[in-house]
Amino acid sequence: MDRLAAALPQRALRYDEALQAVLPADLAQPLAAKGLETLEDLYECAATQGANWFRVFEGIDAQRAQLLMLWLAKFGEAIGEITARFFLPGQAPAGIAGAEPPKGATTPQLAAQSRMNATSTARTLPEYDPQVRPIEEIVLPESLSGANGINRAPLIGCALNADNDLEAIRIWLNARAGNPNTFGNYRKEAERFLLWCLVEKRTALSSIRAGDAAQYLRWLENLGRLDDKAFAAKWREPQSRWLGPKNVPRSHGGWRPFNGPLSVASRRNAIVVVRQLFNFLKKTGYLIFNPFDQVSPKVPLLKGEGAPQAFADRSLTPEQWHAVTARLMLLPEGWPRERMKLILMMGKSLGMRASEMLDARAGWITTRRIGFRERRAIEIVGKGSKVRRLPLNAEQVEIIESALHARNLAGVAGCDPETPLLVNLGRGRNPGGAMSRSGLYRVLEAFFETVANDIAAESPMDAAKLRASSTHWLRHTFAVTALGKMSVNVVQAAMGHASVATTGRYLSPEEEKMSEAMADMKAL
């Protein structure tokens, strides 16, 4: 953790900074794999998902997540406010809004409890296992070295200077894993598979056949999911030899190659990497065949697993949106209501990011020739200072004008082009100034909470979803709604996505077709 803390920039952060520019590669890449590109995206993810946001990212545990949130709390004031809900229960440190120390616990008592927890954790570590060790400590028995493996190709045709399987794996890592993150991933999967061959199968890696390769996937599916008795009935070695706590140093005797059941994505990664290892060994003449060639590349979903689209469920349904607009009409007339109407419009009907809402100026509203006629439009300055132009209909223009009039301004045409569209209510540290990211988040969160309270009795599930909503949910709602009316390429341009693949995350055609078909199914 000290190494990670030292790697994080100790300066004021901007919302649009790329994660790859400010985070170590082993943190930035898992986030990027799920579509998170900027610090704003990271903040929105944590704000939307709550304290457990990190669980969907491979390689990010609770400790690293807490350190990231502390870093944002200290240096990311311009990105958004970090409160106690961003931390696991009892983990929010003093100084974080909403953090409360245990009642009656003094500072020395808390420190003592921390020491007791550390001691307790140390006692629960597995005992040293001389066979289940990291790859750098593995010593191959002569009978399992692979020197005489049944799959070994004739030495005369081998391009590798390797006498055994372990040396061949090390050459593969050096040849194909130049990136530190790739090296860590490849080493982990090769290490796991080699240990499985040696300890569970008691077979040299270069003697593994297609049937063994298929068994490896089944073993990965069972590990950590079956109770000890059921696992022992299917496999030679108990799963306690393979499972241990997270973040145990590789040199520690309690280190284990797994810390729990693997997700479908992790199982798929395991098979892909091991298949690549065998492809390398085959192409370089070390092995005759790749046993994984005859194993299906499809990794099945297990019971309880699913493949939801990354963002499709973070949008509000028409019924939920009706509840939102109904509450909006009950707000007192004046700037607070007009501002909320403007926020909802910019997010839900224009798909603007929170940062774009805050940056929006009166000068963004223009009249441009679009097609064969002049139309009102908004020219949004998005990520990377790229500008996208979206036409505005009469209702959208009226909402913008009404918001400005509520502030006693003359409207778009009569005010300074640099006038921000969203400002504070006229009180606090910056009365009348441009809204902050945390201010926007708090205002919308409080409004959604009010809507949730309105419908909680009749629609508790809808209320729960509204309580989890944030500014980015408005953009998700725009995407899902727009994709029902426009092509994915048009929606891509409207949202300012660099790749159509990003827009495609909002699509769930199989779920849509299934939903429509299931709606017509008779219950009996």
My answer on whether 319 and 288 are in the same domain is no
pLDDT bucket at 430, cuts 50 / 70 / 90: low
My answer on whether 186 and 75 are in the same domain is no
- pLDDT at 117 (0 to 100): 42
The answer to whether residue 177 is domain-embedded is: yes
Of 89-98, 117-126, 147-156, 367-376, minimum mean pLDDT range: 117-126
The answer to whether residue 29 is domain-embedded is: yes
My answer on whether 256 and 334 are in the same domain is no
Starting at the edge strand found earlier in the chain, the sheet holding 365-370 runs 365-370, 373-381, 387-391
My answer on whether 187 and 229 are in the same domain is yes
Residue 374 forms beta bridges with which residues?
A: 369
CB within 8 A of 295, min separation 6: which ones? 210, 213, 214, 217, 271, 275
Looking at per-residue pLDDT, the higher value among 180 and 241 belongs to: 241
pLDDT bucket at 29, cuts 50 / 70 / 90: confident
Looking at per-residue pLDDT, the higher value among 90 and 446 belongs to: 446
68-117 pLDDT per residue, tens = 999 988 888 777 778 877 888 778 787 776 665 544 444 444 443 444 34
My answer on whether 481 and 349 are in the same domain is yes
My answer on whether 289 and 325 are in the same domain is no
- What's the total number of domains in the chain? 3
pLDDT bucket at 516, cuts 50 / 70 / 90: low
pLDDT bucket at 194, cuts 50 / 70 / 90: very high
- pLDDT at 327 (0 to 100): 92
Cβ–Cβ contacts within 10 Å for residue 387, how many?
10
- Long-range contacts (CB closer than 8 Å, 24 or more residues apart) made by 127-134: 127/253, 127/254, 128/253, 128/254, 129/241, 129/253, 129/256, 131/195, 131/198, 131/199, 132/195, 132/199, 132/241, 132/242, 132/256, 132/257, 133/255, 134/191, 134/250, 134/251, 134/255
The answer to whether residue 487 is domain-embedded is: yes
The answer to whether residue 350 is domain-embedded is: yes
Residue 370 forms beta bridges with which residues?
A: 373
- pLDDT at 123 (0 to 100): 42
User: DSSP alpha helices (H): ranges in 52-156?
Assistant: 62-75, 107-124
My answer on whether 268 and 324 are in the same domain is no
My answer on whether 150 and 12 are in the same domain is no
- pLDDT at 103 (0 to 100): 47
My answer on whether 180 and 325 are in the same domain is no
Spatial distance between the Cα atoms of 120 and 276, rounded to a whole number of angstroms: 41
Q: Choose the final residue of a domain: 100, 119, 151.
A: 100
My answer on whether 22 and 84 are in the same domain is yes
pLDDT bucket at 448, cuts 50 / 70 / 90: very high
Residue 454, domain CATH: 1.10.443
Please state the pTM of the whole predicted model: 0.48
User: DSSP alpha helices (H): ranges in 135-179?
Assistant: 165-176
- pLDDT at 102 (0 to 100): 47
pLDDT bucket at 463, cuts 50 / 70 / 90: confident
Of 102-106, 406-410, 457-461, minimum mean pLDDT range: 102-106
> Which of 371, 373, 337, 351 is CA-nearest to residue 481?
351
The answer to whether residue 21 is domain-embedded is: yes
Round the average pLDDT of the chain to a whole number and report it.
Answer: 83
- CA 521 vs. chain centroid, Å, equals 35
> Which of 25, 78, 77, 68 is CA-nearest to residue 45?
68
Domain that holds residue 24: 2-100
- pLDDT at 504 (0 to 100): 61
Classify 365 as helix, strand or coil.
strand
297-309 pLDDT per residue, tens = 888 878 766 543 4
Q: H or E element: which one contains 388?
A: strand 387-391
My answer on whether 267 and 177 are in the same domain is yes
pLDDT bucket at 493, cuts 50 / 70 / 90: confident
User: DSSP alpha helices (H): ranges in 130-209?
Assistant: 165-176, 180-195
- Range of 115-129, 368-382, 409-423 with top mean pLDDT: 409-423
Max Cα separation, the chain? 87
The answer to whether residue 307 is domain-embedded is: no
The answer to whether residue 301 is domain-embedded is: no
The answer to whether residue 195 is domain-embedded is: yes
The stretch 34-46 carries a mean pLDDT of 80
Label residues 302-325 b or e (16+ Cβ within 10 Å = b): eeeeeeebebbebbbeeebbebbe
My answer on whether 28 and 168 are in the same domain is no
